[in-house]
């Protein structure tokens, strides 16, 4: 059967993901290292940049699709993971790249 679209043509071949004989061993779940029920610390315990970001998110409209400032929110997530002193990476410009500077969704 020929490919139905360009996406079919360039998609990764999944045939090597499967074996000829099934693996019937019992599944062993991996217990997460991070506590799933760990509470977010209160605002009074947050450092200045984290506190500012937390206060900003209180004003964001998460109940409306695409209503939050995506670039600012991405910066908040970046700094909460990598540290508030680590600079946010610059956008790499490339033709046809959905994450190029000036693309829709990155205010």
Rounded to the nearest angstrom, the gap between the alpha carbon of residue 43 and the centroid of all alpha carbons in its chain is: 24
Q: How many CB atoms are closer than 10 A to CB 76?
A: 21
Q: For residue 13, tell me if it sits in a domain.
A: no
Query: What is the structure's pLDDT at 94?
Result: 64
Q: For residue 27, tell me if it sits in a domain.
A: no
Query: What is the structure's pLDDT at 84?
Result: 92
What b/e string do you get for 57-70 counting C-beta neighbours within 10 Å, with b at 16 or more?
eeeeeeeeeeebee
pTM exceeds 0.85, yes or no: no
Q: For residue 32, tell me if it sits in a domain.
A: no
Higher-confidence residue: 35 or 74?
74
* Residues 79-106 pLDDT 10s: 999 999 999 998 776 666 555 445 444 4
* Residues 62-72 pLDDT 10s: 999 999 999 99
Q: For residue 51, tell me if it sits in a domain.
A: yes
Q: How many domains does the chain have?
A: 1
Q: For residue 105, tell me if it sits in a domain.
A: yes
Q: For residue 21, tell me if it sits in a domain.
A: no
Query: Which residue has 């499967």 as its token pair?
Result: 18
Q: For residue 95, tell me if it sits in a domain.
A: yes
Range of the domain at 54: 42-107
Q: For residue 30, tell me if it sits in a domain.
A: no
């Amino acid at each position: 059967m020929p490919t139905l679209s360009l996406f079919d043509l360039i998609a990764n071949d999944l045939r090597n993901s499967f074996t000829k004989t099934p693996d019937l061993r019992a599944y062993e779940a991996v217990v997460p290292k991070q506590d799933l029920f760990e509470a977010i610390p209160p605002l009074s315990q947050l450092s200045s940049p984290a506190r500012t970001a937390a206060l900003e998110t209180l004003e964001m409209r998460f109940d409306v699709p695409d209503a939050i400032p995506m670039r600012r929110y991405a910066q908040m997530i970046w700094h909460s993971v990598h540290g508030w002193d680590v600079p946010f990476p610059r956008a790499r410009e490339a033709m046809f790249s959905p994450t190029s500077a000036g693309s829709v969704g990155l205010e």
